[in-house]
């Protein structure tokens, strides 16, 4: 059974990057949980460092991951620079990354580029959550929060981005992506009305006749 640890950067008193009231901590929580749901739909066990807008230190995040054995650790973030100056997606692995981490990073990077983000490449960094976690670790920056173009893409193509990231992760762990089962979608039901009566006793007599014939009949009062 595949087990993945998903980490959503910042949270609570630490909102991360902010632009025009938009918070990195909220964006990554939203998209990370959506990806986690897709992975679980495919039978992957997903643990999350946080599920609400709460603060969590870097040490708490790595300690959370260290408690269990995971196949991968994925940290979700959004980037920031000078307002409206930088754009695109970049993915990080540790400076002494494993081949598994590099492979996942490349697949997630390509998935987001194919979804419309500018390609800033896969890079190596000495980030705490990459250095102090045991599993092959990836940190992904899903566009710049201080770039209107990236924000528009993040919002307008949200489902597409979630699907792209989910497919990339599933491909890395050898699980084929399956489209959602639409058979459980809402159905249209058609009610059959026999008649309407101004007197309740007449309605009750009609219900009794229908029940005697084997029909499931009820009285539904209607005021107009």
Catalytically active residues are 141
Distance between CA atoms of 210 and 194, rounded to whole angstroms? 9
Q: How many CA atoms lie within 13 A of 134 on its CB side?
A: 10
Is residue 139 within 8 A of residue 127, CB to CB? The reply is yes
Is residue 160 within 8 A of residue 153, CB to CB? The reply is no
Distance between CA atoms of 135 and 137, rounded to whole angstroms? 6
At 7, phi and psi to the nearest 5? -120, 125
**Tokens of residue 173, six digits:** 């762990």
Q: How many CA atoms lie within 13 A of 84 on its CB side?
A: 2
């Amino acid at each position: 059974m595949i087990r993945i640890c998903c980490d959503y950067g910042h949270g609570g008193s630490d909102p991360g990057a902010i632009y025009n009231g938009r918070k990195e901590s909220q964006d990554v929580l939203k998209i990370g949980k959506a990806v986690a749901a897709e992975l679980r739909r495919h039978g992957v066990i997903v643990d999350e460092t946080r599920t609400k807008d709460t603060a969590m230190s870097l040490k708490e995040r790595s300690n959370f991951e260290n408690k269990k054995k995971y196949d991968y650790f994925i940290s979700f973030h959004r980037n920031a620079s000078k307002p409206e100056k930088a754009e695109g997606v970049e993915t990080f692995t540790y400076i002494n990354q494993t081949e598994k981490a590099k492979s996942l990073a490349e697949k997630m990077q390509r998935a987001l580029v194919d979804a419309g983000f500018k390609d800033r490449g896969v890079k190596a960094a000495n980030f705490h959550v990459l250095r102090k976690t045991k599993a092959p670790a990836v940190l992904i920056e899903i566009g710049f929060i201080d770039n209107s173009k990236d924000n528009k893409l993040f919002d307008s193509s949200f489902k597409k981005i979630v699907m792209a990231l989910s497919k990339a992760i599933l491909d890395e762990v050898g699980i084929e992506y399956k489209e959602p089962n639409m058979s459980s979608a809402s159905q249209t039901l058609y009610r059959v009305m026999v008649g309407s009566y101004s007197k309740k006793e007449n309605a009750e007599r009609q219900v009794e006749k229908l029940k005697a014939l084997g029909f499931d009949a009820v009285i539904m009062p209607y005021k107009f």
